[in-house]
Structure 1
Amino acid sequence: ARVNAKDNMWLTPLHRAVASRSEEAVQVLIKHSADVNARDKNWQTPLHVAAANKALKCAEIIIPMLSSVNVSDRGGRTALHHAALNGHVEMVNLLLAKGANINAFDKKDRRALHWAAYMGHLEVVALLINHGAEVTCKDKKGYTPLHAAASNGQINIVKHLLNLGVEIDEMNIYGNTALHIACYNGQDSVVNELIDYGANVNQPNNNGFTPLHFAAASTHGALCLELLVNNGADVNIQVKLAFYLFSFTLSYFAYLRSLETAVTSTASL
């Protein structure tokens, strides 16, 4: 049998062995000259697959044979991105110890910290920050880890980042703060936390819209509306709402789709 034969997804036996966390199979395949740098259709190597599948022992076998642990897949994600996205603390530790670039960014300029924050992996978030991850990093749309956590309702991540002193009213390229984003997505616990921490409830974005407008536009923002009004939101601010909400909805759902697509295309088999 050809040790580096690829299936219809361009996966080799080594990819499959790593995905099943079979150290013995990995060792046998490598002994018979399996290509540790082989890429599948998503340009993912066996290390990407190991990182996504918590195959720690397999990664330990493969890494010494690699020239770099920072190879990126089709989406620009490294093994560290995949480990962070999936919340694998020990794998993150291993990759960092082996020289993983903690601030490597994918094709949308998202770091491992963005993904860990979005998915709510607090231990990974803390580990990355303790190893020097840039807490204020922004992706191409200006979203910070705080924006990412707020958008997905990850209250523990939001609390952790706020306790570290990140700028609570930091804006993305549209001028939206974490409070805008949490309100639009109906993340009332995050909204409550942000308000308690001093977020500006009347902060206008680039088009003059405040978090109150976003809560009003949301199909699940009733409690957010109440929280804002009870904490000083100006109900008299008027803007040309209909056009902007349409354009914002399109851009925001495009952002969410990009996150969901990336999550579903992670290297788990």
Structure 2
Amino acid sequence: MHCSYIKGSFALDILGCFPWDSIYKATGRAEAVRCLVWLRLYRARNILAFFRRMEKDIRISYLFTRVVKLVTVELHFTHTAACAFYYLATTLPPAREGGTWIGSLALGDARYAGFREVGLLTRYVTSLYLAVVTMATVGYGDIHAVNPREMAFTAVYISFSILLSAYLVGNMTALIVRGSRTERFRDRMADLIRYMNRNKLGAGVRSQVKDHLLLQYESSYTRDRIVDDIPVAVRSKMSQTLYLDMVSRVHLFKGCSEDFLSQIVVKLHEEFFLPGEVILEQGTVVDQIYIVAHGCLEEVATGEGGSEDIISELLPYDIVGDVSVVCNVPQPHTVRVCDLCSLLRIDKQSLTSILQIYSKDSRQILSNLLKGRGGTESRGKQLESDIAYLISRQEAELVLGVNNAAYHGDLSRLKGLVSAGADPSKPDHDGRTALHVAALRGYEDIVRFLVQRGANVNSIDKFGNSPLLLALKSGHERITSLLAKHGAALNLEDAGGYLCRVVTDGKVDLLSRLLRSGVDPNCRNYDQRTPLHVAAAEGLHLVASMLVGFGADVLAKDRWGNTPLDEGRRCSSRPLVRILEHATP
């Protein structure tokens, strides 16, 4: 703060304190030195600062403060104009002083031809009178500009007087109507003080609340307050210009995609904090993440008995609250402000919603979090365990989202998830992939997309089903052909047992599709029985005819030595026996 003052207005303040009147006389009344007296006007800004402090002090009447301020502004304006009028008269040679407004002035019996001999108070009051009547544009005619210099200055002065009058009238109207920003600040401060008095809050909390509210008032021209009414697209571009470079340097977001970072910067909010303020407190549940833009903070570990140990110093591009928000754990350390600082804040809900869309960047953030946080060995292991759990949970949720999109035929959502880093071959808890679901439901476009993205066409779920088998079961011939074209196989672990069950259940269409897909009609179950054995035993002559047509062996023997023809004769089904006898070599 001191360095900023030295670099700024310090030199002008020093020059404004110089005794220029004495210097002017000591230098033989040099005109150049006389002009330096005007540097004193720069110090008038201290008066404005004084009134700003009074306006924010709720112990002083706001109406009284504003009225005094307006009167002071008017007096200062007329005083400056009076000095300017007198300066114009005294800068002419003595021989021409009779051609000035004061040199030619005659008021009653008083003559001002030798005005330098007139008393100082009389000259000042006369100049002030001219300034007031000119500003008010009363124009009595008793005193007026005489030479062109004075006329030009009077014209400019009257123009500024109109602006001053508008300023005074506007401020008086605002006092009557109420609702200015300063009044809203005072009302809010008064409400807070009443609240703190009622709840008997301590002096430390009171001071922090007042200081932070005052800082919010003085830093009201931040990006969030100014651009609220600007369209979102324009705000997004502004945010990228302001914050994208800074966010990309934060260790938590290193390696993340540009699209992800662009979404993050849109959700950032700038806040200012005073030295000594606590941003995050140890052991609390945190729902905000802060990025240090300017200033300095410190992480403090609070031990038993209230002892404090400084863990680390946080500088620009550091981040706090990330472990608590991402891992859903209490804040490990207290974060306190050392210097006046500017922080960029993003809330947990916004961050979580963005991470759900950009799953690949979500895993990158977890990896960065694990690399960027040290601490004790036990804490490191705990953090590693938490992050491993989060990664597994994210992967499970991602697989669920992919399978859900495939189940409902939502190709657009599925493309978004895969583009965000989802693995289309990742199985769920039942071993099913999105290709299983899409093949079962009959969504050819989704199956085609998954195959193009490298999905495993031969994956087997916990029930022994492959995508091709599910497509056959459901009768989706186009999907069956598509999968077969890309190398899909049925991969039946017990083909004989499966076909025998299909025959027993009477699923003739499924049997036909399986046989057309290349399943061996002579495959056997655990009793060495073929599907034709089962069909003959059940008297299913149509099924038997189909099996024979696909090359089933009529003389194949099971473990008891029985053939399908033997089963057919025991069944006493004449059509069945004829079919089997006709197929016997």
| Contact 1:183–1:215 (8 Å) recurs in 2 | yes
From the superposition, tell whether residues 64 and 166 of structure 1 become closer, same or farther in structure 2 (CA, over 3 Å). Answer: same
Question: In the aligned structure 2, how far is the partner of 1:61 from the partner of 1:53?
Answer: 15
- Residue 210 of structure 1: CA displacement? 5.3
Distance 2:407 2:539 in 1: 30
**1:121 Cα deviation from its structure 2 partner:** 2.2
Shift of 1:131: 1.1
What residue is the counterpart of 2:450 in the other structure? 95
The alpha-carbon deviation at position 114 of structure 1 amounts to 1.9
| Change over 3 Å in CA distance of 1:88–1:204 after alignment to 2 | farther
Change (3 A) 1:106 1:142: same
Work out which of the two has the higher radius of gyration on C-alpha atoms and give 1 or 2. Answer: 2
Query: Are the equivalent residues in 1 in contact too, given 2:536–2:568 (CA < 8 A)?
Result: yes
Of 549, 552, 555, which aligns to 1:196?
549
1:171 aligned residue: 524
Partner Cα separation in structure 1 for residue 548 and residue 443 of structure 2: 32
Give 1 or 2: higher helix fraction: 2
Write out per-residue CA displacement over residues 192-233 of structure 1, whole angstroms, 9 at most, x where no aligned residue: 32223332244334455655788899xxxx99x565323126
Shift of 1:189: 5.0
CA displacement at 1:61 relative to structure 2: 1.3
Are residue 32 (structure 1) and residue 354 (structure 2) matched?
yes
TM-score by length of 2: 0.29
1:138 aligns with 2:460: no
Q: What is the alpha-carbon distance in structure 1 between the residues aligned to residue 352 and residue 505 of structure 2?
A: 41
List aligned pairs for 1:112-127, cutoff 5 A.
Answer: 112-127=467-482
Kept after mapping to 1: 8 A contact 2:568/2:577: no
Gaps of 5+ in 1: 3-27, 235-269
Kindly tell me: are residues 184 and 80 of structure 1, through their superposed partners in 2, closer, same or farther at Cα, counting changes over 3 Å? Answer: farther
Alignment of 1:158-237 (within 5 A): 158-163=511-516, 165-180=518-533, 190-206=543-559, 208=561, 227-232=575-580
Checking the alignment, whether the CA contact within 8 Å between 2:533 and 2:564 is kept in structure 1 is yes
Change (3 A) 1:142 1:198: closer
Q: Does the 8 A contact of 1:119 with 1:149 survive in 2? A: no
Distance 1:90 1:174, change over 3 A: farther
Q: Distance in 2 between matches of 1:97 and 1:216?
A: 53
Relative CO higher for 1 or 2, CA cutoff 8 Å, sep ≥ 6?
1
Shift of 1:47: 0.7
Shift, 1:71, TM fit: 1.0
Contact kept in structure 1, 2:472 and 2:514, CA below 8 Å = no
Secondary structure, counterpart of 2:425 in structure 1 = coil
Give the total of aligned pairs: 199
- Deviation track 1:210-259 (CA, whole Å, cap 9, x = no partner) reads 55788899xxxx99x5653231269xxxxxxxxxxxxxxxxxxxxxxxxx
Residue identity opposite 1:192 in structure 2: S
More strand by share: 2
Counterpart of 1:98 in structure 2: which amino acid? Answer: R
- For the 8 Å contact 1:119–1:152, the answer to whether it is kept is no
Identify the residue that residue 18 of structure 1 maps to in structure 2. Answer: none
Asked if 1 retains the 8 angstrom alpha-carbon contact of 2:536 and 2:565, the reply is yes
Pick one of 427, 430, 440 that aligns with 1:72.
427
CA 116–186 in structure 1, closer or farther in 2 if over 3 Å, else same:
farther
Flag the 1:185–1:93 CA change in 2: closer, same or farther, 3 A. Answer: farther
Name the CA distance, whole Å, in 1 between partners of 2:415 and 2:538: 40
CA–CA separation in structure 2 for the residues paired with 1:82 and 1:31: 26
CA distance in structure 1 between the partners assigned to 2:479 and 2:501 by the alignment: 15
Cα deviation for residue 39 of structure 1 reads 3.3
Distance in 2 separating the partners of 1:185 and 1:49: 41
**Which segments of 5 or more consecutive residues in structure 2 lack a partner in the other structure?**
1-286, 288-349, 360-393
C-alpha distance after superposition, 1:2-49 (max 9, x if no partner):
9xxxxxxxxxxxxxxxxxxxxxxxxx9996322654536xx9511111
The superposition leaves residues 83-104 of structure 1 with CA deviations (integer Å, 9 ceiling, x where unpaired) of 1122222211111111111111
Q: Residue type of the partner of 2:411?
A: L
Say what the alpha-carbon RMSD is for the aligned residues. 4.2
Deviations 1:174-193, CA, capped at 9 Å, x for gaps: 43434456668887654432
Report the CA distance shift for 1:192/1:39 in structure 2 as closer, same or farther (over 3 A).
same
Identity in percent: 28
Give, in whole Å, the separation in 1 of the partners of 2:432 and 2:356.
23
Report the CA distance between 1:125 and its aligned residue.
1.6
Distance 1:157 1:204, change over 3 A: same
| Structure 1 residues 154 and 123: alpha-carbon distance in aligned structure 2, compared to 1, 3 A threshold | farther
Q: Tell me the TM-score normalized by structure 1.
A: 0.56
Aligned partners of 1:119 and 1:154 also within 8 Å: no
Aligned CA distance change for structure 1 residues 55 and 99 (closer, same or farther; 3 Å): same
198-207 or 179-188, larger mean C-alpha shift: 179-188
Q: 2:416 aligns with which of 58, 61, 75?
A: 61
